[in-house]
Amino acid sequence: MKTKTAKILIPAVVIVATLLIVMFIKGNPPQAKRSGKPPKAIISVSALELKPQNYQIMIDSFGTVKPRTQSLLVAQASGQIIQVSDEFREGGFFKKDDVLLKLDDRDHQAEVKSAQANLLSAEQSLLEEKARGQQAITDWQRLGGSEKASSLVLREPQLAAAEAEVLSAQAALEKAQLDLERTKVTAPYAGRILSRSVDLGQVVSNNTQLATIYAIDSVEIRLPIKNKDLSFVNLPEQYRDGAKNQAGSFVEFTSDLVGEQQWQGQLTRTEGAIDENAQQLYVVAKIDDPYKATANNQYPIKIGQYIKAQITGKTVSNALIIPNSTIYQGTYVYIVQEGVLKRKDITLAWQNATQAMIKTGLTAGDKLVLTPLGQVSSGTQVSILGEQNAEQTKGKSAQGQGRGKRMSPEQLEEKAKELGISVEELMKKRRAEKQGGRP
């Protein structure tokens, strides 16, 4: 009986309790505390006020060093190499008319002597023929010829042939002497050995390649110029009549091949055609006397060395220059205007690896945002870091002037007179203000 009663009472109690709880919740609903709009977060950014300036454009380029004058040294006589100069090696320096190689000249000396003998024989024959001609004239006069004798009678053709033999013998002698002279291979200019093909003891013939040499008075570097940079470079141009428009720009060359290397050069000419592969115009710069000793004993320049070039371009007046890091997607920047961000579309007049020159979109006095921004929209409230710190510093200095300034006895007396109190009361008042209380 008790079990049945419990089974009836327990569900009833649960149902009643559930109803009471539901009625209590309905009678006391939760109230949400609503406030105004949440304050907008203010972003602190660094900004740069744009000012026009005279800007010297420097254009970056690159190239490899090539000799201005390069020659292939060949033998102009035949023979065995019997002497080699100490400087006849890769990298060796030589002066103009230095003897680099010497060939065995005994055969050529014999040819010279033979040519001399032939010349003497021809001269002797000429003298004899001249004597025969004189004798022919005498014989014709003795015979009483009234008419002028023919050229054959006077032996004029024989005389001309004898003179020709002398001229031929002289030419043969000069040729033999020249071949003898060419057994000494001399330098055509002051230069350096780039590579050599022969050595001591080797037998060479006429037109045998001996070495590749180049002049050391200057070297050249072929530099590509981007199309957008052409209008900012003083290009040295030459015209058909020989006139030139202007001197080329100065160029500073650098290389880190062996430490820090630097050279000064100048643009000397502009090539007459656009490079078909790169579709760029090339200019040629020259470095004078690149192998002289320097104060810091830097390593001399090498043929084929890759070097960087910085060409001094034109100076642009009233230019607005901004860092490349402030440009987004190459088309716009952010400025601060009346405490909010504003997006400004821009176009560039010129740009290098770090800076850009503004053509349109910005004006002098604009505050350019330097801080990198993420997903920030135009119209966001911002504060400029420098201005915020300046205001805080100004406020602190004003408070310090009002509280912490010490007054001399004369100043205390004047201040007390102005307030109409005694000096002791004024001092108590100032101490109370420093301690944060009231007099």
pLDDT at 5: 62
Architecture of domain 217-317: Beta Barrel (2.40)
Pick from 80-89, 155-164, 278-287, 393-402: least confident: 393-402
pLDDT at 203 over 90: yes
Torsion sign, CA atoms 420, 425, 430, 433: negative
pLDDT at 402: 46
Tokens encoding 143: 């015979």
390 or 83, which is more confident: 83
> Are the CB atoms for 55 and 318 separated by under 8 Å?
no
pLDDT at 51 over 50: yes
pLDDT tens figures, 67-100: 999 999 999 999 999 999 999 999 999 999 999 9
pLDDT at 73: 94
Residue found under tokens 């203010």: 42
How far is it, in rounded angstroms, from Cα 393 to Cα 396?
5
How far is it, in rounded angstroms, from Cα 61 to Cα 222?
10
In the predicted model, what is the mean pLDDT of residues 138-162?
Answer: 76
> The CATH number of 107-182 is which of 1.10.1200, 3.30.450, 2.40.30, 1.10.287?
1.10.287
CATH number, domain 71-104+183-216: 2.40.50.100
